[in-house]
Structure 1
């Protein structure tokens, strides 16, 4: 049974490989790298000027998986931007890496 399941997952994975597209930084409308390390703003490195403002009293800069990171320790923490230049295109993708410390709350 386990071998059939692994074989099924492998075959489905091979079929999906054709749908993977490379990330093109020239067409991105928002990229936060969280490399600032201090302050209450995050810089949009896409060149579109979509910088964000960090909201939340307990937000703090931390070491990330690859460089910097931002710890948002509660439900009332966010990164806000007034407008996002470039949104409105027909298709877009989003990606993030998150490290959840406690999912029970």
Structure 2
């Protein structure tokens, strides 16, 4: 699990570094409403055009602040550590689920 997670984070960092972005924001032409933070150095916030059409200007700012907070606080690391603990000890699975839920809130 550790090696798989490390490979995934390394691939995400490489993807983020290769994405042309303005202010760390990547807009993807997709009608599905989607937005996520892609960890890396530098990290990127990826937002679909469908999401942008769904939200008004105020909500755009809130969405960007939310996704940038994930990058700034390194939430992906907390989730990875919780999942690593849960894979080592199955009794920690509820904790890993709670960490993922709490970070998104």
TM-score by length of 2: 0.21
TM-score by length of 1: 0.21
Larger radius of gyration: 1
The structure with the largest strand share of the pair is 1
The structure with the largest helix share of the pair is 2
